Structures are given as structure tokens and as C-alpha cells.
Amino acid sequence: MGAMTLSPLDSVLGFTIPGRHARGRVVRLGSTLDAILTPHGYPPVIERVLAEALVLAALFGSTLKDDAGQLTLQAQTQGGAIDLLVCDYKGGEMRGYLRHDPDRAAEIGTDPSLFALFGKGYLAITFDQAVTGERYQGIVPLEGGSLAEAAESYFAQSEQIPSLVRIGVERTGAGGRIAGGILIQHLPEGEEGRDRIHTRLDHPEWEHVAALGQTVSESELCDPALPLETLVWRLFNEEEVRVHPGPPLVRGCRCDPAHVRSVIEQFPADEQREMADDAGLIHVDCEFCARRFSFEAMAE
């Protein structure tokens, strides 16, 4: 690896290990995570779930070769503390939100199982390719001990790619949040860079890479003083590793007051008045950024 140092927060670093036929992504979120989470005021146990999901979205979305492409991660649930979780990634811009039952969230403790969080649910991961117009979706049950384990199941079932996913979330002394994650995948000989690879699950080179990747700690993933390149070097210091920085990660809610107004103006005046409150205002809420847009209804 070269001498460059990628900013340790709100960034993603891709890497390949040619000699071991492996590739990966490492992500760390700081102020971007705060910007997404703070407006909602989630309880800590629920907040952590969305933070983990945003890390997954960044890990998966940054594999898209087309900046205009989009990755959407959605959890549909039944019977858990969380009713719905949605987050997406597009060219480094991220957004996300979830709906939860406050009473159930208060009962599940500080280290709940996926079943307590989601009940009977599944995780849908959708890749939209802007250039080709292709859409690919994989769906896996929300089973196991964490969202990271569910993500590993996605790659094993939908992609047939041996994968390792680790995620960490921590609070800073100043009351902020930092989340980090790593995704490592096996590539068979001669297949480096392909999107979907079918390979044997018992490849000894992959077992070596996975064993090294499993040594990463949550504190390393979340350490703002640890550059991402240094983290990768620590894990694979005996290997040739090639790195390629991804785009900076930012909050990117795409709600637009002008667009919302144009949609409302398409309704006839009488329908606008039905939508309005007693003060004659129509309110439109954006679930992603927790903002409310208010417009005057059309007069007769």
C-alpha cells in the first residue's frame, strides 16, 4: 500500500488481496451518522440498529461501479420492536429511517436478539444499475445474532460468495456516534472484479483471509484516530494489498420543497382544501430526514 491516508471518518476504502483472490470494503461513519440519526431521537437500542444498517448500505453500495446506481436495504418485519427499516446509498449519499414501537423497544433490553428487534422478518437488498437499467434483489430471513450475520447469509444464499461482515457502533465522549464495518469476499482465480461469482466454499486461501478478518475488533472499526489504510494493513500485513478510496460519505436526503409543492399543485383546489388543516396549510413529512414541509392550500 502507498503512503496516502484516507480520512478516518465518513469514508469508504476498497481493497483487493490479489495473492489470496479476495476483495473488501471498510467503512467508517461519524458526522454523517449523527446527521441521519439525531433528528429522530431514537432510543439507544433502536438507534444502534439503524447505524448498523447504514454501515451495511455503505459497504454494499460502494461496490456499485456506477455512481448513479442505487443500493436499497429494507427490512420488513412482523411482531418485533421495529416495524420497518429502510436505508439507501447513491454515489456516496446516504439516508435512512425506521419505525418502531416505543413500548416494545423499552422491554427488549440493551442487547436484544434479531427476533426481539424484528420478529418474523426478512432483509431485502436491491441493486439498481442506472446505466443498464438492471435491477437485482436478494432476500434473506432476519435470522442469526446480528445484521452482519444476516448480510453474510445474503451473500451465501443469493450470490454464492463466501463473505465476512463485521460491524461496530460506539458513542463518543462528546455524545456523538461512530460506526464502522468491514466486508471481505472471496474471488476465485482469474475472476477478480466480477460482480457475481460462484465458487467453492472450502477454498484454503479464503479460509486464511477470513481467519485474519475475524480478528478485527469493534474498537478498531470505530477508532477515529485509526486511518482505514492502517486498519487494513494491520489485518493483512503479510499480504500485497491494493487500495482504492471510494467517494466521501454524506447525508443525502433527496426531499425537495419545490418538488413537493409541484406535486401538491397537481391536485384540484377542493382536494387541496380537504388535505389542509384548520389554518389552511398542507403538511408533508419526510420520514428520512424528519422534516415537515408546509404549504398553503389553493384558494377557491
For 135-180, how does the pLDDT look when each residue is reduced to its tens digit (9 = 90+)? 888 898 898 888 999 988 888 887 788 899 999 999 887 778 999 9
Note the pLDDT tens digit of each residue in 278-300: 888 877 777 777 777 777 777 66
Q: Is residue 2 part of a domain?
A: no
User: By residue range, what is the domain housing residue 180?
Assistant: 11-251
Specify the number of domains making up the chain: 2
Question: Which CATH number goes with the domain that contains 107?
Answer: 3.55.30.10
Q: At what angle do helices 147-154 and 44-61 cross, to 10 degrees?
A: 30
Residue 139 shares a structural domain with residue 120: yes
Is 4 among the domain residues?
no
271 lies in some domain: yes
pLDDT at 64: 87
Q: For residues 71 and 23, is the Cβ–Cβ distance under 8 A? A: no
Domain for residue 5, yes or no? no
Quick one: 244 and 274 in the same domain?
Answer: no
Residue 166 lies in a domain: yes
Q: What stretch of H or E contains 275?
A: helix 269-275
**Is residue 193 very low, low, confident or very high in pLDDT (cuts 50, 70, 90)?**
very low
CB atoms within 10 A of CB 146: 16
pLDDT band per the 50, 70, 90 thresholds, residue 102: very high
Do 119 and 211 have their domain in common?
yes
pLDDT, one tens digit per residue, over 237-260 is 989 999 999 889 999 877 777 767
Q: What is the pTM of this model?
A: 0.85
